[in-house]
Amino acid sequence: MKQLVLLIVLIIGYDVQAQNYMKRTAEEPVYDVEVIVFGRNLAQPAIESVQQAAVYSQQDAAEVNFLPPDEDWPVIKVPSAIPQEISPNEQSQSATDNNSPQTPSDQSDWQVPLNEEPIDYEVLVWYLRNQHLMGPVVNLLDNNPKYKTLMRQVWRQPTTPFSQPLYVKINNFPNSTADNTEESDFIQSDMIDFSFSDTDKPDKNDFQINGQVALSEGRFTHLHIKFNYYRINEHNDVLVYGSKQQRQIKLNQWQYFDHPQFGVLIKVTAVKAEELL
């Protein structure tokens, strides 16, 4: 119940800060979500032959950032509940009891000691862990001339409710706006060099990605994605492609979300609190 209340608070007034901790037991994992997006090096058609995709609003998506560089934030804080220490007298009594013959009438054998309740740890979540274009999957994509690796991002989070998943915003041009193509400002691209006059500048970058990914849990674990992908053809027209998908997943396995123009690879890894100590 306390976990549901916390998630509702996150969704209503979401402000990702480095101080975002969640109380978890060692058996309750948080998750590392790794997302890799690549484009296909395809010639782009005339705008008249393309059905422009709907643009997905990112207004309610969470923006996860790196921890402040001047702060040394721990991944696990001190446990909020510590089992009671057993006194020497209790240890002696326990040893005596262990050496004594047991009888079915001894009801203490069927009781769970109070000091064996799960310990709550405060686990740091909702922070960006990595966004470098590196790793074996990125290397495979870069070695294939048909593909262009656009972004890679890794962050840590809990699951969110299946009925109301909380999306994380992932853009390869972070200052761009995905809500309306007509109101977006042009961001100078390091990926491709165009020489436009002020009157014919596209309002998007070639190979621009504006995406959102949500990890949810109901009866099963699911991934939800909403992506817009922008290409510019030889006439300087902006072409808008889109993909919105949802899928039940298995942990620790790459999930591939396909589109004729681009692809999204996502892997979700469970990290138990006890593994972070």
| pLDDT tens digits, 21-55 | 899 998 899 999 999 999 999 999 999 999 999 99
List the chain domain ranges.
Answer: 2-74+119-276
Percent of the chain with pLDDT over 70: 70
* pTM for the whole structure: 0.75
Question: How high is the mean pLDDT of the chain?
Answer: 80
Asked whether the predicted pLDDT for residue 9 surpasses 50, the reply is: no
| pLDDT tens digits, 147-190 | 999 999 999 999 999 999 999 999 999 765 444 333 333 233 33
Asked whether the predicted pLDDT for residue 93 surpasses 60, the reply is: no
Give the integer Cα–Cα distance in Å for 151 and 208: 10
Return the pLDDT at 191: 40
| pLDDT tens digits, 235-269 | 999 999 999 999 999 999 999 999 999 999 999 99
